[in-house]
């Protein structure tokens, strides 16, 4: 359900910070913080979880997680579409068989089996 990493799986603040192609001032502006706050977090190599999560989704790890999720959902949707396409084709064949029986003027009961065993009525 949740795709964000938990504490042990989260890269360190400085690792996330160095992964971003942005200056400290740009990161501070993006997060709504002051550059001094970013410098303090960097010196301690720790930041609040919300800051770490915000930077995680901007880093290569977050983008990779999102891309992986998108690819998995696309593959799932593609396979589901193939299954439904095959099911639709089978239902069309079934409808054609029923229409052929109707047009043949069959005297069978409406609830008779479609496929009868040869020799049995």
pLDDT in tens, 32-65: 999 999 999 999 999 999 999 999 999 998 999 8
Question: What's the token pair of residue 35?
Answer: 């550059």
**pTM, rounded to two decimals:** 0.63
Question: What's the token pair of residue 18?
Answer: 């160095």
Range 13-17 average pLDDT = 94
pLDDT at position 100: 86
């Amino acid at each position: 359900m949740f795709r964000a990493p938990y504490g042990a799986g989260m890269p360190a603040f400085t690792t996330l910070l160095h992964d971003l192609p942005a200056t400290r001032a740009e990161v501070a502006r993006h997060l709504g913080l002051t550059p001094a706050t970013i410098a303090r977090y960097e010196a301690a190599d720790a930041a609040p979880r919300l800051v770490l999560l915000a930077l995680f989704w901007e880093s290569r790890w977050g983008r990779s997680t999102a891309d992986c999720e998108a690819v998995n959902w696309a593959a799932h949707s593609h396979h589901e579409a193939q299954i439904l396409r095959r099911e639709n084709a089978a239902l069309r064949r079934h409808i054609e068989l029923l229409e052929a029986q109707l047009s043949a003027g069959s005297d069978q009961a409406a609830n008779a089996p479609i496929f009868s065993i040869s020799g049995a009525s």
